[in-house]
Structure 1
Amino acid sequence: MDSEDEQLLRGRVYGRDHEDPGPRPGQRYVELVGGPLDGLLLDITGRTPDDMGAGVALATELGRFGAGGRAIYAPRPGDRRRFDWAGDAP
């Protein structure tokens, strides 16, 4: 991925349609930091801290395992507004 691709992803919400990519009012988001989904926002509306405690595995074709792979993100200690990349999984 080049810097132009990275700029296109910033501020977009993971899993949202490319024609309506931005955040919506009234929703809660965390920023994904590092890894293949760096800069994307993840909608956590309705999820409790316990739901998100261990992190998330998000489907992506951009990671080490390509199609069918997942990028693992975990809450940043002391900053629940950011999830840091922890690696890729098949």
Structure 2
Amino acid sequence: MDSDDEQLLRGRVYGQDHEHPGPRPGQRYVELVGGPLDGLLLDVTGWQPEQLDAGVALPTELGRFGAGGRATYDPRAGDPRRFDWSGDVP
């Protein structure tokens, strides 16, 4: 992924369609920091605290393992608005 691809992804919501890529009013988001999904927002509306604490493994074709792989993100200590990349898994 080059810098043009990275700029295209910024401000977009993970999993949203290309026609409505941005955040929606009334939803709660965290920013994904680092890794293949850097700069994307993840909609965590309605998530329970234990779900937020567990982090996520998000399917992506952009990571180390390509199609079928997942990028893992964990909540940043002291900043609940950001999840930091912790690696890619098959």
What is the TM-score of this pair, normalised by structure 1?
0.98
Unmatched 5+ stretches in structure 1: none
Match of 2:82 in 1: 82
Q: Look up the SS of the partner of 1:62 in the other structure.
A: coil
Distance 1:23 1:56 in 2: 19
Distance 1:27 1:43 in 2: 7
Percent identity over the alignment is 81
Provide the aligned C-alpha RMSD in A. Answer: 0.5
The one-letter amino acid of 2:86's match is A
- What pairs with 1:20-59 in structure 2 (closer than 5 Å)? 20-59=20-59
Residue 36 of structure 1: how far off its partner (Å): 0.1
Distance 1:28 1:48 in 2: 12
Q: Deviations over 1:51-73 (max 9, x none)?
A: 11120000000000000000000
Residue 21 of structure 1: how far off its partner (Å): 0.2
- What pairs with 1:55-66 in structure 2 (closer than 5 Å)? 55-66=55-66
Match of 1:10 in 2: 10
Distance 1:11 1:68 in 2: 24
